[in-house]
């Protein structure tokens, strides 16, 4: 019986994991860029590190791709350990979470959103 490496190549597992992560990030970015801030995520646990945080690379990807798709949207990462969390109306507890501030230059509005492994939602 053939091994997976023989059939698909030696990098199949890492490439398929990168592809899945890119797909999840693209889903998040496209929704944010088009002002859709409330949606569910499925099978997005691969984005999260064992310490229940998004990797810095994922955060940078969200910021850069959103700006690429919609030049009027400025995404700012809010570190959970900083004083910037005092701006948030409420905090998500007992779940891995990351917070972002979105400034919409077209409609002159700002939004706070949070991302968990299961949803993206706005305050």
Listed in sequence order, the residues at least 6 apart from 48 whose beta carbon sits closer than 8 Å to its beta carbon are 54, 96, 117
Residue at 110 is within a domain: yes
Torsion of CA 92, 93, 99, 105, to 10 degrees: 10
Within a domain: 4: no
Q: What is the mean pLDDT of the chain?
A: 93
User: How many separate domains does the chain show?
Assistant: 1
pLDDT the model gives residue 25: 97
Domain assignment present for residue 5? The answer is no
With respect to residue 3, please indicate whether it lies within any of the assigned structural domains. no
Distance of CA 122 to the CA centre of its chain: 13
Q: What confidence score (pLDDT) does residue 1 get?
A: 66
pLDDT at residue 85, as a whole number: 93
Q: Is residue 85 part of a domain?
A: yes
Identify whether 95 is part of a domain: yes
Residue 102 lies in a domain: yes
Domain that holds residue 82: 12-122
The tens digit of pLDDT for each residue in 5-64 reads 777 777 888 898 999 999 999 999 999 999 999 999 988 999 999 999 999 999 999 999
Residue 55 lies in a domain: yes
Non-local (6+) Cβ contacts of 93 within 8 A are none
């Amino acid at each position: 019986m053939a091994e997976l490496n023989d059939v698909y190549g030696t990098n199949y597992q890492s490439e398929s994991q990168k592809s899945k992560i890119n797909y999840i990030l693209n889903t998040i970015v496209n929704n944010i860029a088009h002002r859709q801030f409330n949606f569910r995520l499925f099978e997005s646990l691969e984005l999260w590190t064992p310490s229940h945080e998004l990797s810095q690379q994922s955060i940078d990807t969200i910021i850069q791709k959103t700006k690429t798709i919609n030049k009027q949207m400025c995404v700012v990462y809010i570190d959970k350990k900083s004083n910037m969390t005092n701006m948030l109306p409420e905090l998500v507890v007992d779940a891995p979470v990351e917070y972002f501030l979105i400034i919409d230059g077209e409609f002159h509005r700002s939004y706070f959103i949070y991302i968990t492994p299961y949803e993206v939602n706005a305050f």
